Copies of this chain bind each other. A is one copy, B any other.
Amino acid sequence: MSEEHRSGCPINLTLEVLGDRWSLIVIRDIMFGNRRHFRELMQGSNEGIATNILADRLRRLVENGLLTKEDDPSHKQKSVYSLTEMAIELVPLLAHMGAWGRKHLPVSDALAIRAEILEEGGPQLWSDFMDELRARHLGTPLTTDTPSVLARLTQARNEVAAREKSA
């Protein structure tokens, strides 16, 4: 074990690798928002992440093996970020985090609907979503032809947001 770790406790190591809260926010946006470029992550940020913080957290997440960074074949100047298997396996953790937040904190409807669907779908939906993320980020062929979980989450979110806007 590296000398840099404060202890070998799995919870401590997880918190060390995920770093501060911005790291998980960035993973959330790549995972659920399918934002793969720096500019998309920046401009779409609900939390208004600062440019330097985003750059630092992306770098750290690549270093820690949670993201890979490659040249975008369609835009030579752009890089595209992908989740690794390690990051994809954070889905159940993020689902629990969303469920806990929804229960105990003052969430907004449009931003909580995805957490609600993930909570109700349970382990089967998380597993389908992880397979889908593997196809999207790792290039693994999809083994099932179930409807896209990401599309379902995104549609539900847009519907609630539209309802809130027209209300």
A18 and B17 alpha carbons, distance in the complex (Å): 16
Which of A6, A19, A48 is the most central at the interface, judged by chain B CB atoms within 10 Å of its CB? A6
**Complex interface: chain B residues within 8 A of A167 (CB):** none
Tally of chain A residues near chain B (CB < 8 A)? 49
A105 and B86 alpha carbons, distance in the complex (Å): 10
Q: How many copies does the complex hold?
A: 2
Restricting to A1-31, which residues have a CB under 8 Å from any CB of B? Answer: 1-2, 5-21, 24-25, 28
**Complex interface: chain B residues within 8 A of A108 (CB):** 1, 7-9
Contacting pair B96 A10 (CB below 8 A): no
Neighbour of A46 across the interface among B7, B14, B86, CB < 8 A: B7
Chain B's nearest CB lies how many Å from the CB of A23?
Answer: 9
